[in-house]
Amino acid sequence: MNYGKVFVPIAGLLLLAGAYRAYGWSGVAFAGGAIVMFLLMHFNRTMQVLKRAADRPVGSVASAVMLNAKLKPKVNLLHVIAMTRALGEQRTPKDTQPEVFRWTDNGGSWVDATFVNGKLTEWTLVRPQATDEEPAQTADAPSADAVKPGAADALRPPV
């Protein structure tokens, strides 16, 4: 059972009751205002995340490998949407548990994330296989991003 759905409203009621007992109706007004402020802040954050996600295609991410590195267990779906700035492509039927969402990058890699009751439980990264047409880079071949020898010396101040 998800105790958070029961605990949060009971905590709010206890806060209101404690405020009434300590300060009367002015305490209830103050505690009620604090509760409403908390709810408005949460609503505002949710709307900002969804507004940013609305500008991107569903299921797209800049780098699936970076998303895989940033994911942690037990984060909620809203947090993952905020990281990717895109809604995930739903891979399971709607309103069934567990929910599986996919985020794909331009290179063909994707991350499948499994959520149970809105919390991330597991994820897998799938990278496409290199084809024969694309030559694999060997260890002795320099990469395009390699720094030339002596380049760091040019940046050092004279002694």
Q: Are residues 68 and 120 in the same domain?
A: yes
Number of domains forming the structure of the chain: 2
Residues 27-68 pLDDT 10s: 999 999 999 999 999 999 999 999 999 888 898 898 888 988
The DSSP bridge partners found for residue 114 are 100, 122
Q: Are residues 35 and 72 in the same domain?
A: no
Q: What is the CATH number of the domain that holds 107?
A: 3.30.1450
Asked, for residue 153, whether it belongs to a domain, the answer is no
Q: Are residues 84 and 106 in the same domain?
A: yes
Total-model pTM = 0.69
Residues 8-26 pLDDT 10s: 899 999 999 999 999 999 9
Q: Are residues 22 and 45 in the same domain?
A: yes
Please name the residue that has the structure tokens 């949710």: 46
Distance in angstroms (rounded) separating the CA atoms of residues 144 and 121? 38
Distance in angstroms (rounded) separating the CA atoms of residues 109 and 10? 45
Q: Is the backbone of residue 24 left (phi > 0), alpha (psi -120 to 50) or beta?
A: left
Provide the residue range defining the domain that includes 122. 64-126
pLDDT of residue 143: 46
Of the candidates 118, 122, 106, 37, the one whose C-alpha atom is nearest the C-alpha of residue 79 is 118
